[in-house]
Structure 1
Amino acid sequence: MPDTSAFLAPVTALTDLVLPAATARLILLANHVLSSAPAATERLKAHAGRALHIEVEGWRLPLPTPPALTLCITPAGLLESPDVGAAEPVADLRLRMDLSQPLEVMRRLAAGELPPVRVEGDATLAADVSWVIANVRWDVAADVERLFGPLVAEGMSRVSGQALAAARSVMQGVAGLRRS
């Protein structure tokens, strides 16, 4: 196997710079999506103060493995990072995403599905988080319409639908080639 350390050093340095900002944006997006689903925040409010630990398994890309992420549930039923400098909270629930087959993960995402996620920990919290994962989706079209108006949103929806159909077709073709 070739030595990738010379390639990975700058990638790791860049990751260390970008990761905190990307994590903060991911949490903002997750909270935006949760806020649009009152049933989801109601379910999560009952678990305020509990911690979720999210990990990636089976990473095979020639890039650093995404680090584990710990999130705490707020009294509002939203998510936040633990306080900087505080001890890492003990995870009440672990979510492990299997990314060992990147093409299959991309195919599932293109089909509107989630990658395989293994949930371990408190049964009640696991049931509510599993419900949120299964039932809450980002309504991108509604956000685009709010920002740009219905005419632009309709055009973007049409274009993104065509792009998604093309991506599905490519992924089905790749899957068919792999089976042959």
Structure 2
Amino acid sequence: MATPSSPFAFLGDLFNKLGARLQPPPWAVHEVQHRTVLFLNHVLQQEPEAQQRLLRQQGKVVQFQWRFVTMALVATPAGLLDLAPDGAMPDLTLTVTEESPLGLVRATVRGDKPAVQIVGDVQLAAEVNWLVDHVRWDVEDDLARVIGDVPAHAAGNGARRAVDALRKFVGGRAAADPQGPGSGSAGDAA
């Protein structure tokens, strides 16, 4: 009998079973997707180059999938994003292939991109990849608008130290775990 590689392996199984049975109501899904689009547009508006790249892809639909979660976005004439109309055919489909929620979180904390299956428009995929690589939310700037520059900078420094410590911890555990996906991470030489 095989033993699970993690004492928390049951959480992945629980997530699979519950996720297949418990689906949120459509209005809740739409509301979460709408809020996600608002957040993404807020971040995109801080990066004019990103808006120019999206403007060139105007009207194209990108569908994101992970397990039972699907979200389709369309590039707008303003170089931003909007929810694609129901039934819109995607020009590009990006499917996250990591099935385990814990594995996905672990990879994200390490700073790794999850493995993604790409189907569709190659140029659109290249633009999405550029956005993922270059667009970052300036949390400190947004926080400074609320609490001021100095406290926001201090909070940002504290958050960066916490993230670095978490990455070192997760990276150390992944190196000790022979079944872990990493054969070394770029964040180790800091």
TM-score band (shorter)? 0.7 to 0.9
Structure 2: distance between partners of 1:147 and 1:166: 27
| Contact kept in structure 2, 1:107 and 1:168, CA below 8 Å | no
1:33 maps to what in 2?
Answer: 43
Q: Label 1:14 to 1:50 Cα distance change in 2 as closer, same or farther (>3 A).
A: closer
**Structure 2 counterparts to residues 9-88 of structure 1, below 5 A:** 12=22, 14=24, 16=26, 18-56=28-66, 59=67, 65=68, 67-83=69-85, 87-88=86-87
1:144 maps to what in 2?
Answer: 143
Q: Label 1:69 to 1:166 Cα distance change in 2 as closer, same or farther (>3 A).
A: same
Moved more, 96-105 or 154-163: 96-105
- Aligned Cα RMSD in Å? 2.9
After superposition, the C-alpha distances for 1:49-101 in whole angstroms (9 at most, x for unaligned) are: 11111111xx5xxxxx3x21111110011111134xxx411111111122235
Overall identity of the aligned pairs, in %: 30
State the one-letter code of the partner of 2:143. Answer: V
1:170 maps to what in 2?
Answer: 169
TM-score w.r.t. structure 1 length? 0.77
Unaligned runs of 5+ in 1: 60-64
In the TM superposition, what is the alpha-carbon distance from 1:16 to its structure 2 partner?
Answer: 4.7
Q: Label 1:21 to 1:122 Cα distance change in 2 as closer, same or farther (>3 A).
A: same
1:62 maps to what in 2?
Answer: none
State the one-letter code of the partner of 2:18. Answer: L
TM-score w.r.t. structure 2 length? 0.74
Structure 1: distance between partners of 2:159 and 2:141: 14
Structure 2: distance between partners of 1:79 and 1:116: 23
Unaligned runs of 5+ in 2: 1-9, 180-190
Q: Label 1:15 to 1:177 Cα distance change in 2 as closer, same or farther (>3 A).
A: farther
In the TM superposition, what is the alpha-carbon distance from 1:177 to its structure 2 partner?
Answer: 3.7
Matched position secondary structure for 2:78: coil
Matched position secondary structure for 2:177: helix
In the TM superposition, what is the alpha-carbon distance from 1:134 to its structure 2 partner?
Answer: 1.7
1:97 maps to what in 2?
Answer: 96
- Structure with higher RCO (Cα < 8 A, 6+ apart): 1
State the one-letter code of the partner of 1:158. Answer: N
Matched position secondary structure for 2:79: coil
**Number of residues of Structure 1 aligned to a counterpart in Structure 2:** 166
State the one-letter code of the partner of 1:19. Answer: V
